[in-house]
């Protein structure tokens, strides 16, 4: 090689090193900053934690993504995970991290702030919000007495091409995990096989609401708050749609819990515990109830938003939040071709 070639090479390596150094430098983290992996809606989490930094002097940095993505990411990261606190939208994902032994026990005082049915026996995570499964429907496309009595009926041949679901989303996968816990593997596989034939796949619950509103599909499986939120704002997307609650302990009345936990590998365990305590305390729970999030508060003695039917009135099936099996749901959904 000619010598300019060699000099060129040297120049290139210097440039390379300099760039990567510059890039690394910007990542240096200050003290007292918690890294929060959050799969819950940004607006809800920010509203509930408003004032936390001011009160405690602890800064927060969020990594927002999907439930399963973050859970599997934490499991892969293992002990090296940069996360201090994990907030999920649905409990199956925090359970994945729990089963991998990566969560630290929560302070008993934190656990006591939340009703027993909203946390697992292990005491390694705690619910901080709840949401109910609903069937959203368009009254112009389907009359009330044609609506199914159970969510499991949607696998029947008469529903072909008529059910909107967000199969790729964590919400729908949490609902499947409840079906799995309540009905067992074979019944769930059968249900999913029917749904695979019957369903129109949408990218999100909002997209389902819009599709139902516009009459693309008569019904969709979703959570309650998307519609309530839209109503509270302006009803632009979902004003022609209505909600149908299955009740009667049907799997379709499943109430999904958003979980919060502290990573055992956190280098700031005290601050992390403080964050979870803050999130489940009365003040933050009341903020949730007052916010436009319209999910259910789970703090003991805190009433949820007035617009919502009371959580106790929904006839939700009893599901142990520690028993939902996300990996098996993924396998089943891959098996029937929904993923």
- Closest C-alpha among 321, 320, 339 to residue 329: 339
Among 53, 59, 62, 303, binds other proteins (CB under 8 A): 62
Residue 33 phi, psi dihedral angles, 5° rounding: -125, 120
Please report how close the Cβ of residue 1 comes to other proteins at its closest, in angstroms.
5
CA distance 232 to 98: 36
**Judged by CB, which is closer to other proteins: 214, or 286?**
214
**Judged by CB, which is closer to other proteins: 110, or 138?**
138
Beta bridge partners of residue 163, listed in sequence order? 199, 219
247 touches other proteins (CB under 8 A): no
Please report how close the Cβ of residue 166 comes to other proteins at its closest, in angstroms.
10
Please report how close the Cβ of residue 179 comes to other proteins at its closest, in angstroms.
16
**Judged by CB, which is closer to other proteins: 202, or 245?**
202
**Judged by CB, which is closer to other proteins: 164, or 252?**
164
HSE (side-chain half, CA atoms, 13 Å) at 23:
6
Please report how close the Cβ of residue 42 comes to other proteins at its closest, in angstroms.
9
Please report how close the Cβ of residue 209 comes to other proteins at its closest, in angstroms.
9
Among 53, 56, 82, 283, binds other proteins (CB under 8 A): 82
Residue 70 phi, psi dihedral angles, 5° rounding: -65, -40
201 touches other proteins (CB under 8 A): yes
Please report how close the Cβ of residue 253 comes to other proteins at its closest, in angstroms.
24
| Cβ contact 163:154 at 8 Å | yes
- Give the count of beta carbons closer than 10 Å to the beta carbon of residue 51: 12
140 touches other proteins (CB under 8 A): no
How many residues belong to the site for other proteins (CB under 8 A)?
60
Which residues in 157-176 contact other proteins (CB under 8 A)? Answer: 167-170, 173
CA distance 4 to 138: 72
Sketch the per residue contact string, 6 through 25, with other proteins: x for CB under 8 A, - otherwise.
Answer: xxxxxxxx-xx--xx-xxx-
Stretch of 196-204, 239-247, 265-273, 281-289 lying at the interface with other proteins (CB under 8 A): 196-204
CA distance 212 to 231: 15
Could you tell me the CA-to-CA distances from 89 to 40, 41, 170, 295 in Å, in that order? 4, 7, 8, 11
DSSP assignment string, 203-247:
SSHHHHHHHHHTTSSSEEEEEHHHHHHHHHHT-TTTTT-EEE---
141 touches other proteins (CB under 8 A): no
211 touches other proteins (CB under 8 A): yes
Sign of CA pseudo-dihedral 241, 65, 42, 94: positive
Among 114, 128, 133, 210, binds other proteins (CB under 8 A): 210
Stretch of 154-162, 252-260, 277-285, 326-334 lying at the interface with other proteins (CB under 8 A): 326-334
Please report how close the Cβ of residue 163 comes to other proteins at its closest, in angstroms.
15
DSSP assignment string, 66-111:
-HHHHHHHHHHHGGG---SEEE-SSHHHHHHHHHTT-EEPPPHHHH
DSSP assignment string, 250-262:
-GGGPEEEEEEEE
Q: Residues interacting with other proteins, by CB under 8 A?
A: 1-13, 15-16, 19-20, 22-24, 26-27, 35, 61-63, 66, 68-69, 71-73, 75-77, 80, 82, 167-170, 173, 201-204, 206-207, 210-211, 214, 216, 237, 330, 333-335, 337-339
């Amino acid at each position: 090689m000619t010598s300019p070639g060699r000099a060129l090479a040297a120049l290139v390596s210097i440039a390379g090193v300099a760039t990567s150094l510059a890039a690394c430098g910007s990542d240096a983290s200050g003290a007292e900053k918690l890294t929060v992996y959050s799969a819950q809606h940004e607006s809800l989490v920010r509203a509930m934690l408003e004032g936390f930094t001011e009160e405690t002097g602890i800064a927060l940095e969020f990594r927002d993504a999907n439930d399963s993505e973050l859970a599997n990411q934490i499991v892969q990261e293992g002990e090296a995970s940069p996360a201090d606190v994990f907030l999920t939208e649905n409990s199956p994902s925090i359970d994945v991290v729990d089963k991998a032994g990566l969560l630290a026990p929560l302070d008993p005082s934190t656990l006591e702030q939340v009703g027993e049915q909203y946390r697992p026996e292990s005491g390694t995570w705690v619910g901080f919000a709840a949401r109910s499964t609903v069937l959203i429907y368009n009254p112009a496309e389907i009359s009330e007495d044609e609506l199914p009595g159970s969510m499991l009926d949607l696998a029947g041949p008469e529903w072909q091409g008529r059910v909107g679901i967000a199969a790729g989303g964590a919400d729908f996968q949490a609902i499947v995990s409840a079906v799995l816990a309540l009905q067992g593997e074979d019944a769930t596989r059968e249900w999913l096989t029917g749904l695979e034939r019957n369903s129109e796949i949408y990218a999100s619950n909002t997209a389902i609401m819009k599709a139902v509103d516009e009459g693309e599909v008569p019904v969709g499986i979703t959570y309650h708050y998307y519609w309530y939120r839209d109503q509270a704002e302006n009803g632009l997307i979902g004003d022609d749609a209505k909600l149908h609650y299955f009740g009667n302990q049907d799997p379709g009345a499943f109430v999904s819990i958003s979980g919060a936990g502290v990573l055992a590998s956190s280098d700031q365990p005290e601050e992390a515990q403080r964050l979870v305590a803050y999130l489940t305390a009365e003040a933050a729970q009341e903020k949730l109830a007052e916010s436009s999030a319209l999910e259910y508060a789970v703090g003991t003695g805190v009433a949820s938003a007035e617009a919502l039917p009371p959580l106790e009135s929904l006839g939700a099936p009893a599901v142990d939040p520690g028993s939902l099996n996300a990996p098996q749901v993924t396998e089943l959904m891959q098996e029937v071709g929904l993923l």
